[in-house]
Every structure is written in structure tokens, then in C-alpha cells.
């Protein structure tokens, strides 16, 4: 018998609620309802997803904290935070210039504004 989350378990019963993999001697975590998950299933189910590539945003190998960019209540991998029009990656020096719910670089924002004025 082993103890986890304050409860006793048979070793064969201590499994991930999602994939049923045995967690005896394996790192695990619990969700807000105290359900037990293997790390992979927990990340797949609860980690934020990148708005651009739709993959989960996870800590870099060897790190414990996840680094992400949030814009318009959307999460992005650092490498995926790019202009939605020309795909240039945003930098600290050349930031994002949003327009009508799109993340754009300054040149694309200016072109968008010109096109909008010409069509009005």
C-alpha cells in the first residue's frame, strides 16, 4: 500500500485518471478536484494552448516555469508571437501594433490603415 494525496492506494490502483498508466514511483500531479494525472496527461488537458500553432505551451526542458506571451487574452509561444500578416517575429524593439483583433507589425498596421481609408 502506498500513500498519495493523503489517501492509501494499492500500487496497481495508483494510476492516471486519463491514460490509466501506473504512477507508482513516477512523477504525478493533481488537478483542482484532486484527480491524479501523469505529467503528460495533465499538460495535455490543462496547459494553455498557443493561439498561432494550437500546441500546448509547456516549460522548456529543465525549467519548471512556463514562459508565454499573452495578447488579446490569447497565449503564444515566444517563437509563435508574430505578425499575422507578414509573419515577422515581434521583438522588444519592434513590438506589436494591434488592429481589429489582429496582431500586426507596424508596417502591416500602417498598410491596413491605408487600405481601410481607401475602401471607405
Give the C-alpha separation, 52 to 100, whole Å: 17
Question: In degrees rounded to 5, what are phi and psi of residue 87?
Answer: 75, 10
| Interval 68-72 mean pLDDT | 90
- Domain spans, the chain: 2-46, 82-118
pLDDT of 120 strictly over 60: no
Give the C-alpha separation, 16 to 29, whole Å: 9
The C-alpha cell that represents 114 in the structure block: 491605408
The domain made up of 2-46 has a fold known as 2.10.110
Distances (CA, A) of 31 to 2, 5, 65, 66: 20, 11, 17, 17
67 CB contacts (<8 Å, ≥6 apart)? 59, 60, 78
Q: Give the pairing type, strands 7-9 and 36-38.
A: unpaired
Reported as a pLDDT band with limits 50, 70 and 90, residue 107 is: very high
Mean pLDDT for the chain overall: 89
- H-helix or E-strand spanning residue 42: helix 39-46
The C-alpha cell that represents 63 in the structure block: 525549467
Give the dihedral sign, CA 97/102/103/105: negative
The string of pLDDT tens digits covering residues 7-51 is: 899 988 999 999 999 999 889 999 999 999 999 999 999 999 999
Amino acid at each position: 500500500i502506498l500513500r498519495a494525496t493523503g489517501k492509501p492506494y494499492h500500487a496497481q490502483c495508483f494510476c492516471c485518471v486519463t491514460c490509466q498508466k501506473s504512477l507508482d514511483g513516477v512523477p504525478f500531479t493533481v488537478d483542482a478536484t484532486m484527480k491524479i494525472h501523469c505529467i503528460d496527461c495533465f499538460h495535455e488537458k490543462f496547459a494553455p494552448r498557443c493561439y498561432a500553432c494550437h500546441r500546448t505551451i509547456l516549460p522548456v526542458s529543465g525549467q519548471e516555469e512556463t514562459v508565454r506571451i499573452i495578447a488579446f487574452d490569447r497565449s503564444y509561444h515566444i517563437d509563435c508571437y508574430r505578425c499575422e500578416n507578414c509573419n515577422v517575429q515581434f521583438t522588444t524593439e519592434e513590438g506589436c501594433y494591434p488592429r481589429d483583433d489582429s496582431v500586426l507589425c507596424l508596417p502591416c498596421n500602417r498598410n491596413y490603415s491605408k487600405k481601410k481609408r481607401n475602401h471607405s
